[in-house]
Amino acid sequence: MKRRPFIAGNWKMHKAPAEADALAEQLKRALADVTAVDIAVAPTFLSLPAVIARLRHSNIGVASQNVAVEAQGAFTGEVSAEMIKVAGAQYAIVGHSERRQVFGETDAVVARKVQACFRAGLAPILCVGETLPEREAGQEEAVVGRQLDVALAGLSADQVGALTIAYEPVWAIGTGKVASPAQANDVHAFIRGWLGRYPAFVARNVRIQYGGSVKGSNAAGLLAQPEIDGALVGGAALTVDEFVAIVQAAG
| The one-letter amino acid at 163 | L
Residue environment code for 148-157, b if the CB has 16+ CB neighbours within 10 A, otherwise e:
bebbbeebee
Asked whether position 187 contacts ligand 13P by CB under 6 A, the answer is no
- Which string of x and - marks every residue 221-240 that binds ligand 13P (by CB under 6 A)? -----------xxxxx----
Asked whether position 199 contacts ligand 13P by CB under 6 A, the answer is no
- Residue 9's alpha-carbon distances to 16, 58, 148, in angstroms, are 16, 16, 22
Q: Which helix (H) or strand (E) holds 118?
A: helix 107-120
3-state SS assignment for residue 36? coil
Beta strands, E only, 115-155: 123-128
Asked whether position 47 contacts ligand 13P by CB under 6 A, the answer is no
Cα three-residue angle 90-148-4, rounded to 5 degrees:
45
* Shortest Å, Cβ 63 to ligand 13P: 10
Residue from 5, 129, 169, 211 touching ligand 13P (CB under 6 A): that is 211
Asked whether position 213 contacts ligand 13P by CB under 6 A, the answer is yes
- Which string of x and - marks every residue 83-122 that binds ligand 13P (by CB under 6 A)? -------------x--------------------------
Asked whether position 169 contacts ligand 13P by CB under 6 A, the answer is no
Residue number, 162 or 238, with CB nearest to ligand 13P:
238
Asked whether position 168 contacts ligand 13P by CB under 6 A, the answer is yes
Asked whether position 173 contacts ligand 13P by CB under 6 A, the answer is yes
Residue number, 174 or 226, with CB nearest to ligand 13P:
174
Give yes or no: 57 in active site. no
Among 13, 225, 42, CA closest to 124: 42
* Shortest Å, Cβ 74 to ligand 13P: 30
Give yes or no: 98 in active site. no
Q: For residues 70 and 191, give the distance between their C-alpha atoms in angstroms, rounded to a whole number.
A: 28
Cα three-residue angle 248-250-251, rounded to 5 degrees:
65
Which listed residue (82, 105, 140, 168) is catalytic? Answer: 168
Residues with active-site annotation: 96, 168
